[in-house]
């Protein structure tokens, strides 16, 4: 069974810092990987989707990379803002969608 791990579980940074969130998975036979953000009491908002044939995807201040062979993905957030505070989840699409437990990010003004 695919296992998805996100480290760290929680992260607190001052506004303006660049930061990296990590996602690792045990089975490299995947179709794609998706990053989401979840605000407290809300649903999941899709941020980026990386197909298995791609190495990275960018959207605004966000950049996600994928290294299938090592079972890793990173989400890079540039110039963090208080509005980025949320829980970030990665999900790996193999024969099912497996979610990590998330990283809770707090950006301090």
Partner 1 sequence: DAGVIQSPRHEVTEMGQEVTLRCKPISGHDYLFWYRQTMMRGLELLIYFNNNVPIDDSGMPEDRFSAKMPNASFSTLKIQPSEPRDSAVYFCASSPFGSGGSYNEQFFGPGTRLTVL
User: Interface with partner 1 by CB under 8 A: which residues?
Assistant: 31-32, 34, 36, 42-46, 49, 51-53, 89, 91, 93, 96-102
Q: Which is nearer to partner 1, 13 or 52 (CB)?
A: 52
* Max Cα-Cα span within the chain: 41
Least Å from the CB of residue 43 to partner 1? 5
Q: The tokens of 15 are what?
A: 């506004």
Least Å from the CB of residue 14 to partner 1? 28
- Give the residue carrying structure tokens 């690792």: 24
Rounded to an integer, what distance in angstroms lies between the CA atom of residue 89 and that of residue 109? 23
């Amino acid at each position: 069974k695919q296992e998805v791990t996100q480290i760290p579980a929680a992260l607190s940074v001052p506004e303006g810092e660049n930061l990296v969130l990590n996602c690792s998975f045990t089975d490299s036979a995947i179709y794609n990987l998706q990053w989401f953000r979840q605000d407290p009491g809300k649903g999941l908002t899709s941020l980026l989707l990386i197909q298995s044939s791609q190495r990275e995807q960018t959207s605004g201040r966000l950049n996600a990379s994928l290294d299938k062979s090592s079972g890793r993905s990173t989400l890079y957030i540039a110039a963090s803002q208080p509005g980025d505070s949320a829980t970030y989840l990665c999900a790996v699409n193999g024969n099912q969608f497996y979610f990590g437990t998330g990283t809770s990010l707090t950006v301090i003004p």
